[in-house]
Structure 1
Amino acid sequence: MESTAGSGQRGGIVVGVDGSACAREALAWAGRLAGRAGLPLTVVRAWSIPTAPRPDTWEPGYVPPMADYERAVEQALADDVAAAGLPDDLPVTCRAVHAAPAEAVVGASAGAEMLVVGVRGWGGAMGRLGSLAQAVLREARCPVTVVRSGTTPRIGDTGQPLV
């Protein structure tokens, strides 16, 4: 797992995740599309101490070292990827990036075929486009797909999933 922002990727699909239900749906959607298209998948999770999962070493009155927070983020990211039901043969790269979400995800979009995000993460009101989705629609360096929760694109009346 990479832990730095890096400079994007060449080809493939990038998906931004934050552990929310919308992000997990976006991850599964992006994984299915990448598998069908034969493209690698890069899963990016931005974090800061307030947004990171609580490390095992946390206790009241003690702030664990940054490395403990980073390990907790990497574990949460690995758990999300494992739960996504991605194709076994799909090349997946995970990046835990200590940066603002829009900065991390937009940076990763340079050179990608597509960037995928959920309609909203942990914040925001139901039915509204979240701040990350708004930012990537303005700033991404590749086409963007915003996955709405509870929706699965379908082809005609066959009931077959599009991705």
Structure 2
Amino acid sequence: MTVKVGVVLPRPQGDPGEWLSEAVAFEAAGADALWVEHGAKPVLDPLTLAAALAAVTYRSMLVVAVVRDCDEHALETVERLSRGRLVLITGPGESTAEGGRWVPVAVPSGRAAWRETLRQAGERGDHGVLVPADPRLLDLLRNPDDPGGRHDLQLAQG
């Protein structure tokens, strides 16, 4: 069984456009799911953020925590925008989506640690791992087998 990768997107603090750009980058790198970080009294509405994600992404599952008295009409709208990729959870303690358990893990320190994290999750039977959005994770997703000779990062010098 292949362990899926979910990226926990922190709530946007500044320009939501930057937040959306980061989400698109993680999806392009291969993230299986984008989780909108939830918590007490978010500044921006999580369901509206999920709608924005649905508009700029095409493949990743979109996971959002909603309150029980959420507007059904709004939910139906986001469901259509996401083309069936929307998964609702009921709160911060829930870590099941798409029929399996998603386990929070720290951002790995390197490729070997990342492979070990995924191996251990697979052995436990976890459906996926939830990793905080981080530039190191983005690099690991984009270049999972890179031995370290990052020629794409070298600058031309003259």
Q: Looking at secondary structure, tell me which structure has more helix per residue.
A: 2
Q: Shorter-chain TM-score category?
A: 0.3 to 0.5
Larger radius of gyration: 2
Higher relative contact order, chain-length normalized (CA < 8 Å, sep 6+):
1
In the superposition, the TM-score normalised over structure 2's length comes to 0.39
In the superposition, the TM-score normalised over structure 1's length comes to 0.38
